[in-house]
Chain A
């Protein structure tokens, strides 16, 4: 049965601090931005630095870890909403840069805040079906390139970043490292978090940057997610007390604290976004780094993951690390 074998992340070098944002958005202060969002700084990719570059860097960090052999990887998945171009698939270029075997496939998956769990589910399915033995799952986004830098409702929240997760076989007879994954979609709510760029629905000349209806997204989060979580726990015959930690998508500290409180998760809920901001599909794996090392033989931890956001979409997974 598949499990997470290795994990790494990468953030771009350039820092966007709260003070710089406060200077841009009077009368907000740096402290107010931190109090309201839980974010002190977020990273911004440089002009010619793409999500694929960030993901490649995360992958290089992972490939340098002991026991990781790129020649054993059968599939490369890249979860992103900010690819290099329409074609070819960005994962193909990353595949080339990492020197993966020609027999290893490559695919981009377009999903946002719930995307890491989609990626885990796909990796799990590929391995369980015998299609692949080891899957390199990458996430990466440069949402800072999608936003209007003077839109104060989003400029404070999003940061660029990437992650790499190696998913591979566990010891025979062990419990599944990736448990049940479940998903939900509210396509009508898609307009609440929307960007025209890089698409063909809206003529290029009319395309608008990322727009987010914060109140609408909050209403969705608080209205839908607790009930969906209850349903997931019921289906998996679990209670919150079964989990050692809970990692929700790191949207902003405010939403996380409210969600963790509303769902009874409280102190088990991980908040790890102070120096990275909302990194979209990378936020869960970046937060998981707080729980390293993986697969310590002395103790195994059961973790509940929950992604939610753009789509609108949501996802749950149970992992053992």
Chain B
């Protein structure tokens, strides 16, 4: 599981990509209001690779319901 420091730094930058107030993007944040357009997907994949050194798929990312799903996806990749 990614460390909390890494997670916090990642979430701040994720908020910027999603154009959401960083204070709102916590582990409990839901992606229900997010429009995963192509730019957001690609930017997020690159951000995940930069912070956690894993590459997640575009569909898998779009299927995440929120930050917790995304972090679980990353943890799953790290565990492999």
Q: A215-B57, A215-B61, A219-B55 are in contact. Are A258 and B50 (CB under 8 A)?
A: yes
Instruction: Report the minimum CB–CB distance from A21 to chain B (whole Å).
Output: 12
Interface residues on B, range: 10 to 19
Q: Which residues of B contact A202 (CB under 8 A)?
A: none
CB of B71 within 8 Å of the partner chain: no
Residue of A nearest to B47 (CB): A258
Bound Cα distance from A262 to B52, whole angstroms: 12
A258 and B58 contacting across the interface, CB-CB below 8 Å: no
Residue in B38, B55, B57 whose Cβ sees the most chain A Cβ within 10 Å: B38
Q: A153-B38, A214-B38 are in contact. Are A222 and B43 (CB under 8 A)?
A: no
A contacts with B: majority SS: helix
Instruction: Report the minimum CB–CB distance from A192 to chain B (whole Å).
Output: 10
Bound Cα distance from A127 to B51, whole angstroms: 46
CB of B42 within 8 Å of the partner chain: yes
Q: Which residues of A contact B43 (CB under 8 A)?
A: 36, 254
Bound Cα distance from A255 to B61, whole angstroms: 18
Bound Cα distance from A232 to B9, whole angstroms: 33
Q: Could you say which of B39, B45, B61 contacts A36, with CB atoms under 8 Å apart?
A: B39
CB of B46 within 8 Å of the partner chain: yes
Residue of A nearest to B44 (CB): A215
Q: A152-B37, A213-B58 are in contact. Are A218 and B50 (CB under 8 A)?
A: no
Q: Could you say which of B38, B39, B55, B57 contacts A222, with CB atoms under 8 Å apart?
A: B55
Q: Which residues of B contact A215 (CB under 8 A)?
A: 41-42, 45, 57-59, 61
A219 and B45 contacting across the interface, CB-CB below 8 Å: yes
CB of B49 within 8 Å of the partner chain: yes
Q: Which residues of B contact A219 (CB under 8 A)?
A: 45, 55, 57-58
Q: Which residues of A contact B61 (CB under 8 A)?
A: 215
A218 and B42 contacting across the interface, CB-CB below 8 Å: yes
Interface residues as binary, A37-49 with B (CB distance below 8 Å gives 1, 0 otherwise): 1000000000000
Residues of A near any B CB (own CB < 8 A): 28, 32, 36-37, 152-153, 213-216, 218-219, 222-223, 254-255, 258, 261-262
